[in-house]
Amino acid sequence: MPRLVSVATAVPAHRIEQTVAAAFARAKFAAALPDVERLMPVFTHAGIDTRYFAVPAEWFLQPHDLAERSAIYAVEATKLSQQACLAAIEQAGLAPAAIDYIIYVNTTGLATPSIDARLINRLGLRPDVRRTPIWGLGCAGGVAGLSHAYHYALAHPGARILVVAAELCGLTFLPDDMSTANLVATALFADGVAAAIVSGDEHAGPGLEILGTRSRLYPDSLDVMGWTVLQEGLQVVFAQRIPDIVRETAAAEIGDFLVAHGYAIADVDTFLLHPGGTKVLAAYAQALGLAADRLDLPRGVLRDYGNMSSATALFVIERHLQEHGFAQGGLGLVSALGPGFSAESLLLRT
């Protein structure tokens, strides 16, 4: 089976404490939201201590149009992606020329040529490398990218695929959007990049064996999560009922996925879930019948980095590898939710 052989991450230079973000939001939203103090606990309840951003704090005080945001994204995402990719390639013991296919995932920036083309030049990949940019899958995008790599490796067992998820969520902040959703996003979202390499069967060596993947789209749920494209930029959309949806659907969705591979929820040793927020993680724990500490690993990534959209799930996998390495012999579940409303999942031999 195809294997996930390395994961590496990168974050930008501007580190923001959650207390500083809360003070910023209180000052920013107070005039437009008379009940701002009632909403402020979202910052303390978010389970986040620190986050990283590609722009300094003062950038968030001024309006910026989509063109300016996109220009910043192209520069910063390319730089951070190069850093993460080189680390992932080095971890795998490869040369850049060994990469056969690059999949670039994002939702928070626009660029044509897409960032994967820039990376081919920066990394020194072969000029005949295949490439696919994937835009618009939000938080589920990183898992979807790994899924695409897995299916490509099944058909091309000699391939090595580089998956990059690069999100600069901070660039989507709209200073004139005084909605509750924007306030909540200010408490949660952050910037980060992750890169991973998936190898086909013809390549020996350590790695997390990918046993299968699953995609699920929930009908009539387009309003649950996403972005509205405005002249000023991307306006966040997410519904308060997301934890309720998780409680109502996660057991059946994940259970069906596992049953298709001959397993049950009780057989899973490691839950590598995208930490969309503390309420989402609590909803997963309730739905799956898990003790709270079974989700300490994704909770720790949320604490240290915030929600970095598609890159976050790969940060969770990286932390698992840092703590446990390869070849532990257990069963791992990776899952993330995204616009659509949708879910993407992977089953790993950890």
What are the pLDDT digits (tens) for 62-99? 889 889 999 999 999 999 999 999 999 999 999 999 99
**218-236: average pLDDT:** 73
- Intrachain domains 3-199 and 208-349 with the same fold: yes
Asked whether the beta carbons of 164 and 104 are under 8 A apart, the reply is yes
The band of 243, judged by pLDDT with boundaries at 50, 70 and 90, is confident
Q: What is the DSSP string of 186-245?
A: HHHB-EEEEEEEEE-TTS-S--EEEEEEEEEE-TT-TTSEEEEE-SS-EEEEE-TTHHHH
The band of 107, judged by pLDDT with boundaries at 50, 70 and 90, is very high
Nearest to 214 by CA among 113, 66, 342: 342
User: How much is the pLDDT for 239?
Assistant: 67
User: How much is the pLDDT for 82?
Assistant: 98
What are the pLDDT digits (tens) for 32-68? 777 888 889 989 999 999 999 999 999 998 889 889 9
85 is catalytic: no
What are the pLDDT digits (tens) for 283-325? 999 999 999 899 999 999 999 999 999 999 999 999 999 999 8
What are the pLDDT digits (tens) for 23-35? 999 888 887 777 8
Q: What is the pTM of this model?
A: 0.95
**Any idea which architecture 208-349 has in CATH?**
3-Layer(aba) Sandwich (3.40)
Largest pairwise CA distance in the chain: 62
Q: Where are the domains of the chain?
A: 3-199, 208-349
User: How much is the pLDDT for 168?
Assistant: 97
What are the pLDDT digits (tens) for 123-176? 999 999 999 999 989 999 999 999 999 999 999 999 999 999 999 999 999 888
User: How much is the pLDDT for 47?
Assistant: 95
User: How much is the pLDDT for 228?
Assistant: 72
Q: Which fold has domain 3-199?
A: Peroxisomal Thiolase; Chain A, domain 1 (3.40.47)
Instruction: Give the whole-angstrom CA distance, residue 214 versus residue 205.
Output: 25
Name the active-site residue from 85, 139, 143, 246. Answer: 139
What are the pLDDT digits (tens) for 245-287? 888 888 999 999 999 999 999 999 999 999 988 999 999 999 9
Sequence-ordered list of residues with C-beta below 8 angstroms from that of 251, at least 6 positions apart, any chain: 265, 287, 288, 289
Nearest to 197 by CA among 129, 308, 102: 102
Instruction: Give the whole-angstrom CA distance, residue 262 versus residue 165.
Output: 30
Nearest to 159 by CA among 200, 105, 123, 196: 200
Strands 101-106 and 160-168: parallel
* pLDDT of 229 strictly over 80: no
Query: In the predicted model, what is the mean pLDDT of the chain?
Result: 92
User: How much is the pLDDT for 20?
Assistant: 95
Strands 160-168 and 130-135: unpaired
Q: Which residue type, as a one-letter code, is found at position 180?
A: T
Instruction: Give the whole-angstrom CA distance, residue 128 versus residue 12.
Output: 30
Q: Which residue type, as a one-letter code, is found at position 60?
A: F
Q: Could you give the dihedral angle defined by the CA atoms of residues 324, 329, 330 and 336, in that order, rounded to the nearest 10 degrees?
A: 70
